[in-house]
Amino acid sequence: MSHVLQKKDFWAGVLYIAFGAAAFWIGRDYPMGTAGRMGAGYFPSVLSVILMLIGLLSAARAFRQEGQPVGAIAWKPLALVVGSVALFGLLLPTAGLVVALTVLILTSAFASQYFRLDPKAVAGLILLVAFCTVVFVKALGVPLPLVGSWFGE
């Protein structure tokens, strides 16, 4: 049996497989439907299978190519990204989608050492929030509050 040559790809693959398997397991009771008339479980199931396949490819590649060792964990960026997702979940019902997305994007962006809050970044933020609002709330009809109870809604 060969040994792992590229630990980063191996552990990334293991994580992809674990997340894909967890998503598949969580969605197992949702109705699947068909490709033409998708049920609630169709899209999550397909995505979870794709994620698991990418994980298998990544883990398999780790046995064929030499790579660099896994470095230290970057705790600050990890905390900022995880914290931004938690804040999104907490803010969504009370502040609404626009505020929650803005906080999510800005907080997670600060995890990068290259992020600067300049006019270009603000324009990108506004476009991303507008795009998510149009796609999820207007086009797909996901029942998300645009503004929450904090603003009198």
22-72 per-position pLDDT tens digit = 999 988 888 787 777 777 778 888 899 999 999 999 888 888 777 676 677
Q: What integer is the mean pLDDT of 11-30? A: 89
Give the end-to-end CA distance of the chain in Å, rounded to a whole number: 62
Q: What integer is the mean pLDDT of 84-106? A: 93
Q: What integer is the mean pLDDT of 16-27? A: 91
Residue 38 three-state SS: strand
The token pair that represents 51 in the structure block: 């994620």
pTM over 0.85: no
The token pair that represents 32 in the structure block: 């699947």
Burial class (CB in 10 A: 0-12, 13-18, 19+), 117: exposed
**88/29: higher pLDDT:** 88
